Structure 1
Amino acid sequence: MSTISRSPRCAPSTAATRDATTRPGTWRGFQRHSPATPDSRRHLPTVTGDPRCHDQPGWHHQVSAVRGLRPAVRPTISDVGETVGVPSKDSRPGPTRWIIHGEQVIDDTRRLRLSIAQVELPDGVHFEQYVLRMPKAAMTVVLDEARERVLMIWRHRFVPDCWTWELPGGYVDSDEDPAITAAREVQEETGWRPRSMTLLTRFQPLAGSADFENLLFLGEDAEDTGTPADINETARVEWIALDSVHDRIARGEIIGAGTQIGLLHILAFHAPRSR
């Protein structure tokens, strides 16, 4: 396996990534198959859609056996082989809609569920794709009174091995209001607490492979609580000039998708008009 080297912006080189992840007969980890025969199709429950899409309310589980799924990693949990179906409000396939025939769970933790989905393309081709399902996350853009500076943390991310500026945020517990989560994360990671929280937008940072809804809040009227920042989360806390955001992104100092979306959203819709 090739050693993956990183550029100054912490992005792995294309050649190294391809050598390290591509196997014969796969699409970078996705296994392609010919169209299923009528005999094989009868074993697969037809389930489609994502219950968290705005036009598809409701959530229904359908557990059944799915044949032909080949886990690519060693299973480590007791419910390996469980198949989660996700019916939608409208199960009729559109002209370009992919059909999910089932998912086989191969790992399930408090923060992540990894499965392999059996997918059918509109042209009849079947393939398997890794799917990640994660709990919601909330982050906050905290602005000063003049809306000229944003509260940010400087921290190290060990997966890409990068130091980066980020907005404070974290996972949302299932029984907690996301706005409360977001405000608490600001205080824990920065020592500041916003008195006003406004939901700006929701987004999916990796919609092609993961269900990981992110909620973005605007925090205002922040007060310094005197609480020390969590040393496990934060190396430095600073109020960063919004005027410097574009340059920091260009220099690779801000790499997180959620942080970039939040900052660019503020610059586009909430910063002073004079900008």
Structure 2
Amino acid sequence: MKKRILFMLSVLSVLAVSGTELPDKFQVKCGEITVGVSKRSFWNLNGIWFKGTECCFANTAWYGTTTSYGKGWVGSGHLENGIGEKEVGVKFFLNGAVWHPVSGQTAAESFEYEKTSLVGEMQLKYSVKVSPEKIVELVEMRMRRPMGMTVYHYMHPWNRIFTEYLFIDRNGEKQSGVFASDKRDMKFLKHPFRFAGYSPRMKTGFIQELESISPITQEETFLLWNRLSDRKLYFVPVREKKVPANVDFKWSMTTVFFNAEPEQWQKNAAETVINQR
């Protein structure tokens, strides 16, 4: 009961900062890409669809940012400490104009939102831009005081229909594999640049490309966690290291989708040129 009360107080703080009544959740469709956003997830993404297929799960796993703070974890999906995200403010734009979201699904040429919040001692700025071609997420963080910590950004719970993957690091080295169907597995993939998943059954894949604009360290990783229920991908900009205060750090993540035959998908995933802006 205590956790539930703390969660509801966090949600109420979101409404107070936004200054207006917002729907519990909504979707925006730009071409063949649809995204969901929800109040419960502190206005982080909550579901991604391509051509009507739920590629990244809604309602069953968390997106956003999580960080250690000495006594456990806080962030978008960690409410056990009664913290979550605080001081949340959000602005939405549809087709370039300020927009008040409505329940259900809205079709548009473009959708964008900008969010600020406090995650433990981390001041966070997060924005999403959706077009018919791609999703661009930008995250900026600044610490209020120096702390030793681990940070997870860009958490994405990809659907288990994606059974194969390809990872490319900053040096162009490739690592490919098949997700186990009967055993949970966790991998840290060093110096990340691009990650792709593929469904032979759907002949559909996704690519996520990272740009480290102002990194904390060069020892960045992707955490790839096959939880069987999903394929959870995290970006880990720092792991168990001290982060200085009053310094701005920034990264972007661009997501695109593609269709390809099984024998061609890795070539497509490796050679697709992605405009990150």
Choose between structure 1 and 2: higher strand proportion: 2
Assess same fold via TM > 0.5: no
Higher-Rg member (1/2): 1
TM-score, with length taken from structure 1: 0.26
TM-score, with length taken from structure 2: 0.26
Choose between structure 1 and 2: higher helix proportion: 1
